[in-house]
Homo-oligomer: A and B are copies of this chain.
Amino acid sequence: MSEQKNIRDLKSLRIDHDSPVPLHLQVEEILRDMINDPEYQNGKFLPKEVDLSKRLGISRNTVRQATNRLVQEKLLIRKKGVGTKVAKKQVETRLSNWVSFSQEMHAQGIDFRNYEIKVSQIKADAEVAEQLEIKEGHDLFKLERLRGLDNGPFVYFISYFHPRIGITGNEDFERYLYDILEDEYHTIPVLSREQISAILANKFLSEKLGVPVNSAILQRKRVVYDPGNRPIEYNIGYYRADQFTYSIDIKR
C-alpha cells in the first residue's frame, strides 16, 4: 500500500471536536461519503486506519468504532494485513423495490435492446380477463416485446393493459414502461403480484429466444396494481433460464 496520492479527499476532512455529535458518528458520516464515492466503489482501498485517525486528529479506536458498524452492515470489507474497501454493490432488483425490466437492467449498468416491438388491439381471453378483472371479450391493448442484450434476446414479454388506462398504441415503448404510465397516465404502480414457474420452450419461444425446443424457460406472470388495488397491467415474461435468474430479498 503506502501509495496514497490523491490526498484531496483526506485534506478536506474535518472533525468538529466540540460538536455534541460523538466523534465516531462523525467519522461514520465521512466513511459513508467515501462509500458513495465512485473512486472507492471501483475497488480503491480506503485510507488506512492509522492515517485516517492521524488526519482527523482522533484515535484509531474511534475510527474503528465507526468502521465496525459499517462492516457489520456489509458496506465495507476489511481484510487483516491488507486494507479496507467498499463492498461490491449487490445487484439492486432487490430491496423489495421493484422496477421495470429496463430499469432493472439500467441499474445494473447493462445495456438492453429491443429486438421486436409489436402493439395490437385484441379482445380479452379468459385468463387476461380474470387477471385484469374485466369481462371476457373486452377490447384492450397487447404489447409484445422481445428484449435482450447485444448477444441476443433473452426475454419475451407480453403486456396487457387495463382499458381504464387509456393506452392508445402510439406511445413510445422504448421508454421505461412505468415512466410512461406515471408521466402520461398518472397511474402509479404500487403492488406487483407475481407468479413464477418453470416451463419448457415450445417452438415459438425457442425461435424467439434462440434456444433449442424444450430448453428450460423461467416464466413470470405478474399483475401490477395501483394504490386503489386496481389492476393496471398483466405481464407475462419468458426468460432464457441459462441467462436469467430471478432475485429477490424478502424481509420480515
Contacts and interface: CB of A to CB of B under 8 A. Distances in A.
Interface of A: 68-69, 72-74, 93-94, 96-98, 189-200, 214-219, 228-229, 239, 241, 244-252
Nearest to A222: B250
Given A69-B72, A197-B245, A241-B197, A250 B191 contact: yes
Contacts of A73: 229
Given A72-B72, A72-B228, A249 B192 contact: yes
A155 to B, nearest CB: 13
Question: Would you list the 3 A-B pairs with minimal beta carbon distance, nearest first?
Answer: A198-B198, A198-B241, A198-B216
Give how many copies assemble into the complex.
2
Nearest to A241: B198
A248 B97 CA distance: 13
A250 to B, nearest CB: 4
A194 B229 contact: no
A251 B72 contact: no
A194 B248 contact: yes
Contact of A93 (B98, B218, B252): B252
Contacts of A228: 72
B249 A191 contact: yes
Contact of A199 (B94, B194, B197, B241): B241
Contacts of A69: 72
